[in-house]
Amino acid sequence: MTLPPLVERELRVSSRQRNTHRFRIAAGLIAVIVGAAFVSLTEVGAFPGAKASLGRGLFSVLSWIAFITALGSGPFLTSDSLSQERREGTLGLLFLTSLRGREIVLGKLLSTSLRSGYAMLAILPVLGVSLTLGGVGAAGFWKTVVALGTVLEVSLAAGLFCSAVSREAQKALGLTLVVLAALNLAGPAVDTFLQSNAAAPPRGRLFSPGYLFLIANSWGRVPFWTSLLANQVVAGVLLGLTCVVVRRTWREGGDPAGRFRFLRWPFGSRRAAASRSSSERRRLEDNPAYWLACRHGWLSRCLWALAGLLTAGTLVLVFVFGFDPGGPGVMLWMAIGSVWGLIALLLYLGTAMQAVRLPAEARRSGVLELLLTTPLSEARIVDGQWRGMLRMVGQPLILCLLMQLAGTFISQWVSEEVTRRQVAAMGTNAPPILIPGSTTNAATLPPGFPGAARSPEWISVLIAVLTTLTFAMNLAAIAWAGFWFGMVSRSANIATLKTLLYVQVIPAFIIGILSGLMIPILTFGTMTKSGGSYSAAQAQFLVAWLPLVLVSTQTLLGLAKDVGFIRWARRNLHAEFRQRATDALHPEVSAPPLISSPPVSSPPPLPPPVASAG
């Protein structure tokens, strides 16, 4: 098979990059560590009931990690591939040759998929260990592998399409996330609506990559192959649209926003525009870095919209459903933790994008080096970045923190009240309950168990305060680390990925493992089992105090992690700011070694003069 020259060049360049091999090694190490940790925690009793299906549990954990990796490859690896060529003005040069749109798209697709493809291949051997542990069949294993490859293909195709229609890296990343969310959720939502109205058989979920992944290892007759074909069609359509769009969007046309005036911020008038111009002029005179950090407001508006939705949802739960544990809103209050986890992830992403934007863009364009030629010091530039962060994302984040504090307290109170009523209803004839860390993972409630008595309310308040404090410190650590990663990364999207991985995702796995080890330690160290039953005080400890101990442990570990990242980023910024700012335009090139020339031999001696005859 002969590849086009551009495709071959892109593959050669990508295969020789160090990050490609580092990504593969890191993926394999994470899979091994997570797999070993899951098996260890299951053996010590941290997951009650999971020991009987160890292979299936390990397969589920690792396959979900692979699914998140495949789904995140498009936003972080391919969403800036074509948009970067447009910003640098090299995409038009490619079309001056005999290259076609499909060859350019194919080259970018294969080169950007090399890292994620290597990562998936590194995870597969660890995923195959679950076959030897039982609980997973060969058919389910290979279907899951095929589904993960299809999810990766759809994600990369969506990233390329959004990169073709966007010019800025972060807008392409955000648009890719929106497209992937629509592909995963729109189909099941449409099917739910149609099933409630009995209008048509469900077919929309077949085009969802998430649905394809969920049914890959399911028992019974499922439309796996039909969904696989539908997702292949979705990926093909996205790639085809990219080939068509890329030939029409590479030109530098005027202001593209003029054709889409209805998408502009609606509260615009001449007086408001004059006020904005005056405030921008004051920021520019005060600190140019502060002005640069506040230039683009679309991310701030997105965070305000998210904060508004969170506030509206919390108020609806409070005033419509109330706090009654027996009311219709009890399940919503108990599920608010999962919803808040997704919202927190979006807030982390928005904070990281805002933190890396100024250093990445200013360093790439040379503006950062120009700022250093002025009397503006490095400390003033960092101060301008922080002031811009607080102006753009500070107020919506504070609103989200308040909603999290209220929502966590109410959710904890409702969950405890539901548990208390269930225990009071069961009485002494209760069936065995699962106790983490015990040998049989089961124990009976003691006679006269005081579980119906309410725990002190300050426990719920303290849990809510600790959770909110951890979230606020995570945001601060992401902001500082994002500023540093924006200085040392090649693009804003890669800097965002590094910030989220190093500051939040990987430490979250480690903290989760350590917190899971605390469960058997606490249950073995504080309770003495006799005859399969626990005393009333010991059972009360499990119900009320164990969550507080676990949350406190997670908070202490999280605060230590955040303080470490903040100190590390501050030290690097103050020590290497000027050097990193100039590396992009003036990379250090080592001089070739001097070649010593061989010594010049002395000329041979002249022959003696010959005497003339006569």
Whether the CB-CB separation of 150 and 212 falls below 8 Å is answered with yes
Query: Could you write out the three-class secondary structure of 272-287?
Result: HHHHHHHHHHHHHHHC
Residue 24 token pair? 């593969």
Q: Position 35: which residue type?
A: G
Give me the pLDDT at residue 341, please: 77
Residues 6+ apart with CB under 8 A from 176: 74, 75, 79, 158, 159, 162, 163
Residues 6+ apart with CB under 8 A from 154: 74, 180, 183, 209, 231, 234, 235, 238
Cα–Cα distance, 407 to 399 (Å, whole number): 12
Greatest Cα pair distance in the chain: 147
Neighbouring CB atoms inside 10 A of 291's CB total 18
**Which residue in this structure is represented by tokens 């994302």?**
393
Give me the pLDDT at residue 376, please: 79
Give me the pLDDT at residue 435, please: 41
Whether the CB-CB separation of 205 and 211 falls below 8 Å is answered with yes
Q: Position 322: which residue type?
A: G
% the chain with pLDDT above 70: 72
pLDDT tens per residue, range 297-349: 777 888 888 888 888 888 887 777 776 666 666 677 767 767 777 888 888 88
Taking the CA atoms of 28, 31, 37 and 43 in sequence, report the sign of the dihedral they define: negative
Instruction: Report residues of the chain scoring pLDDT below 50.
Output: 1, 199, 254-275, 428-453, 525-533, 585-594
CA 238 to chain centre: 23
Give me the pLDDT at residue 252, please: 55
Give me the pLDDT at residue 432, please: 44
Burial (CB < 10 A; 0-12, 13-18, 19+), residue 335, is exposed
Cα–Cα distance, 18 to 26 (Å, whole number): 12
Give me the pLDDT at residue 150, please: 92
Nearest to 148 by CA among 72, 209, 82: 209
Residue 451 token pair? 């579980």
